[in-house]
Structure 1
């Protein structure tokens, strides 16, 4: 690890100012991803601004009936919060499917959004990686790419976003509240993360000198018909090969609204709103679910070792929708 300087910010404005004045500075809170990357010299900020003492660690109701998650609330405290469990159980289940209990106790909600990819080649400085060094190439395309993306890829990057929490937030259509030198702004969750395109080193639309202050959940939480299905190589402390956050608003057996977000398949949580609309005012049947799954994956592209993910994702979508609609398998 390279030498760095450190100080603790006392308020949001001071934290933003310190990072805006130093291009080599980074915010640090839980540090569960940043410190790992610093240790292996993939990221090497010259200065760290500790934001753990800022007043961003509460969960509060919003005026529109939603819930505001402070950026410094830990993943564990969010998952076990009574209001989250009751009103947004999809989010609670997704968080508890990720990482380990120790990491969830330390990792923050804001930091969860900013996780870097878990691509083997991003972590290996001996290999070319456009995310780590733009223009150097993508080793994963011709390498061992079993965990890599099948949707939204580019010639420059086929990495996937690693978060479970973010898949649920995408389905719930959360909003990210941020603050920077030019004031505060709100970013719809669908616009927060980026596909790789020709700038795979830029993971999100958060500016370098902006700080996440909160995540706001809308009033609608889909607390009755939901599921978070995570398929992985082992049952704990493993990233998703494919995950599905499914949320349904139902009237009897008729689907009024459907939300389907996928993890483990793209550079960001993946949604296809046109496919979701296919289920509007339709009966909850396995056949309808299969049609939606085919539509979502119709442009998927597999590589040498991950082509199996295409069929796996289709089956996962069907299974997740069956669980959310409380159908028996095969019904």
Structure 2
């Protein structure tokens, strides 16, 4: 067994100082990291416990009417917080769709952002070919079972998908991830936080070495009355999405004023369906309009041998989620 050192950080500054050393990983709830360590996928030299840093476990309002959710807020607490339920029901639904009640009670918002893929070949070290785990080794998934893998934004280096439900909702809501590091604080627009695989699938995010997620900021609420998180999966609970849709609308009577659509289970990062959003603005939510707009979301899809069904499933899920968000029966 590898030797691992441990440090409990008292504040953000000491956490960043400790986290700047190679091989160091921050740990909050540990619901994903500990699984990776047990399986030999993650081999950190040092764990920096951030759970005792004050101020990271709170939810506060912002001057513009938005919301700041601390990185150490538990998923269950965020899902059931009055402000989240009432102002951002899409996010509350996404939280409650993830994992199990026990895991949501431990998992943190910051940790949820850092989840690794659930690709079979990434998790199974018996397969040495995994560019995400061993850069340059190849991708066993390309010749394997590809049912859960990406149809959008993949590369010949990696076809893994991002597993987070929360992140799909945050993508639709145009959230901002706040981080602190050796160079100070910075705010990362959510669309720029997760990466597509390209030729570096081992890098999931745009975080710099040693940077610590401190909070997620939500803009002023616009979609409290018309939103829906729809998750299509193999079983009713504790299963990752084959396809998920975060749909958020502003309606002017029966007409769409503003639309936000994000997909999960289809790419290496939450996938914003910008063309679909544009096609819905100014339209009523009749079935023909929705089907035409949904088809735009999967233009350029490159399914694998076992997951071509996701192309159709994604379109149908978009239609259903938007209908429900808009208030259709």
What is the TM-score with the length of structure 2 in the denominator? 0.98
Residue 48 of structure 1 corresponds to 47
1: distance between equivalents of 2:276 and 2:85?
28
Where do 5+ consecutive residues of structure 1 fail to align?
Answer: none
Q: 4+ residue stretches of structure 1 with deviation over 3 A?
A: none
**What is the number of equivalent residue pairs in this alignment?**
327
Per-residue CA deviations over 1:268-303 (Å, capped at 9, x if unaligned) read: 000132331111111122211111111111111111
Per-residue CA deviations over 1:201-233 (Å, capped at 9, x if unaligned) read: 000001121000000000024110110100000
Q: Report 1:1-331 matches (<5 A).
A: 1-20=1-20, 22-55=21-54, 56-127=56-127, 128-328=129-329
SS in 1 for 2:69: strand
RMSD: 0.8
Per-residue CA deviations over 1:53-105 (Å, capped at 9, x if unaligned) read: 01200000001100000000000000000000000000000000000000000
Per-residue CA deviations over 1:23-50 (Å, capped at 9, x if unaligned) read: 1111101000111101111110111000
Per-residue CA deviations over 1:233-270 (Å, capped at 9, x if unaligned) read: 00000000000000000011000010000000000000
1: distance between equivalents of 2:222 and 2:47?
36
What is the TM-score with the length of structure 1 in the denominator? 0.98
Per-residue CA deviations over 1:165-185 (Å, capped at 9, x if unaligned) read: 000000000000000000000
Deviation at 1:126, TM superposition (A): 1.5
SS in 2 for 1:69: strand
Contact 1:153 1:195 in 2 (8 A): yes
SS in 1 for 2:280: coil
Contact 1:191 1:205 in 2 (8 A): yes
